[in-house]
């Protein structure tokens, strides 16, 4: 099961910048857990995106809520998440190798 997370900053980037390292440390934890496949900022820096893999058997909504709520950006009300469960039909063999 896959999902996309679109993160939109709620404040100007100069107010976000001091917390980017904390946010990225959190994303590295998600990567180590096998939940995050890829992430990165948008250009221009208005937010970013995450490609997530939710383990089979885990309830999608609860897993996505937990990921969102654990982000330092969310905890500090610096960004909002749009969480989109995703069912890719082309290219899944490549995703499965990540």
pLDDT tens column, 31-73: 999 999 999 999 999 999 999 999 888 899 999 999 999 999 9
E strands of 35-88, at which residues?
A: 36-41, 47-53, 79-86
Give the per-residue pLDDT at 57: 87
Q: What confidence tier does 95 reach under pLDDT thresholds 50, 70, 90? A: confident
CA 93/CA 98 separation, integer angstroms: 9
Helices and strands, number each (H, E), in the chain: 5, 4
- What average pLDDT does range 6-23 have in this prediction? 97
Asked if 79 and 71 touch (Cβ cutoff 8 Å), the reply is yes
57 is written with which tokens? 């058997």
């Amino acid at each position: 099961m896959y999902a996309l997370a679109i993160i939109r900053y709620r404040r100007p980037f100069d107010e976000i910048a001091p917390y980017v390292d904390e946010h990225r440390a959190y994303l590295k934890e998600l990567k180590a857990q096998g939940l995050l496949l890829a992430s990165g900022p948008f250009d221009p820096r208005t937010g970013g995106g995450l490609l997530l893999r939710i383990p089979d058997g885990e309830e999608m909504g609860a897993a996505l809520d937990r990921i969102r709520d654990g982000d330092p950006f969310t905890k500090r009300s610096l960004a909002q998440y749009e969480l989109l469960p995703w069912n890719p039909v082309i290219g899944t063999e490549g995703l499965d190798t990540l």
